[in-house]
Amino acid sequence: VPFKAARLWLAFYLPRFPLETLGAERAATVPLAVISDTVIVAAGARAESAGVQVPMSASAACALVPNLILAPRDEAAEAAALEGLAAWAGQFTSFVSLVPPHGLLLEIGGSLALFGGLDVLLARVRHGIDALGYSARFGVAPTPLGAWLLARAALEEPVTAVQRLPACLAPVPLTCLELPVRILQSLRSVGIECFGDCSRLPRDGVARRTDPLLLAYLDRALGKRADPRLPYTSPPTFQRRSSLPGEVKDTQTLLIAAHRLLLELAGYLQARAGGVQVLEWHLAHRRNPATRLTIELVTPSRDAGHLLLLLRERLARVALVEAVVYLGIRVRDILPLAPSSQDLFGEEGVAGGDWRALVERLRSRLGRSAVQGLKLSAEHRPENAWRCCAPGQGIASALSSAHYPDRPLWLLDPPEVLRSVAGDPWLEGRLHLIRGPERIESGWWDGHDIARDYFEALHVSGARYWIYRELREGRDWYLHGVFA
């Protein structure tokens, strides 16, 4: 019974993935290729323009381009990068499947309405892949294998109806079919060059003379046989590292690599409807211990641009002891993130977040202790009636002025002794007492007790001051605060 494909699949094929996981900037400036054993598996643009091709032997490539730089393939880094890309892709669909070592499959049929149609979704995916620094080919088809073959062959016209698959897959070259070498050699020996040639072979003859794997492969591509795929499940925490183009001490190069990691993080968080409030950066060196940077936010965020700006501010304060060989990021806690509020015309409401963004930038530039919030403390002594706290965590007082007398925002530490003329307080002239006294006696339990009468005083200039008179030890006058 034919398999009825009711889904729509998007395939990413990453032809330069082994190269791009090593750092794309280097490949753009020198002829560079990646080798596995003695075979070229990826080549940079400069190397390709000079004639280096996959799967050329390393010796032939070096003979063609004497200054060609050969980098060994890092399969572990590729596997980690592919999982990072899968976590990022989770923002577009709930079903992502890995196609190791250099591809992904996304079931997007259920996402089209959410993103406003196939064209809009594809545009967003293309833009995102490009921002991450990967070159990709895309294929869209009702079957996962069909989408994958279209991507491999760079046939990027979307195929949305299963009836169109035979014609649309027909031009796919035999080299794109991932079949055992013995089957491919057998097909070439009888003049088969593409998918269409394979599908036109008599099924009975193919079943008798070749491996049954070939018919099963063709049927899966055409939607005549089920092709179940394993879903990728992203980890509960985010931890990634990025290779760098050599040993790097240039901040701008570090920020380029960091931006890619943050874009991956943003996609991962988007899929989980979450944000982060603490990011841990790990800058590894060859000889010295790693430089570790922790960035804390006032409120959870997944804005990659803002998070990059905070890292830029922090790096401006750091003197690296040595060049960086790789960059890592870790997020332990994913916090719920409320959707952005929008105004009547659909514009993002940003005014409420402006102060938070400013505070986060200042803390990254000046240090955490340089920018603090304030909150009230249940204390009568004015100098103890407040506490430092993390910005945004202070609790606004709900007390009315009837229960909580006026207090100045500016307090002097320590209070300043005032002149006394005929028993009256002076500060470049006589101060006129306009309110008070308010007696405060407190602190006997900790050895820092006070006994004072507080007054609001008016200067001839119009300035208002908060002053007090000691009830013991000479009954001196003191300036303690200034009203705005």
297-327 residue pLDDT tens: 888 999 999 999 999 999 988 889 899 999 9
What does the longest C-alpha to C-alpha distance in the chain come to?
A: 121
Query: For residue 55, which of 69, 37, 73, 41 has the smallest C-alpha distance?
Result: 41
Q: Are residues 92 and 193 in the same domain?
A: yes
Residues 260 and 305 reside in one and the same domain: yes
User: Would residue 49 count as lying in a domain?
Assistant: no
Contact (CB, 8 A) for 36 and 4: no
Q: What is the pLDDT of residue 353?
A: 55
End-of-domain residue from the set 334, 366, 398: 366
Segments of the chain scoring below 50 in pLDDT: 1-5, 25, 341-352, 397-402
| pLDDT value, residue 422 | 85
Per-residue confidence (pLDDT) for residue 22, from 0 to 100: 83
Is 390 part of any domain?
A: no
Name the residue range of residue 99's domain.
9-22+74-222
Instruction: With respect to residue 37, please indicate whether it lies within any of the assigned structural domains.
Output: no
Q: Which residues contact 133 (CB under 8 A, 6 or more apart)?
A: 20, 24, 260
Verify that 242 and 212 share a domain, yes or no: no
Could you tell me the pTM of the whole model? 0.72
Given this model, what pLDDT does residue 344 score? 37
- Helices then strands, counting H and E runs in the chain, come out as 16, 21
Q: Identify the domain boundary among 338, 366, 394.
A: 366
pLDDT of amino acid 28: 62
What's CA 116's distance to the chain center, in Å? 24
Q: What is the pLDDT of residues 47-74, one digit of tens each?
A: 999 999 999 999 999 999 999 999 999 9
What's the confidence (pLDDT) of residue 399?
47
Same domain, 210 and 266: no
At 340 the pLDDT is 54
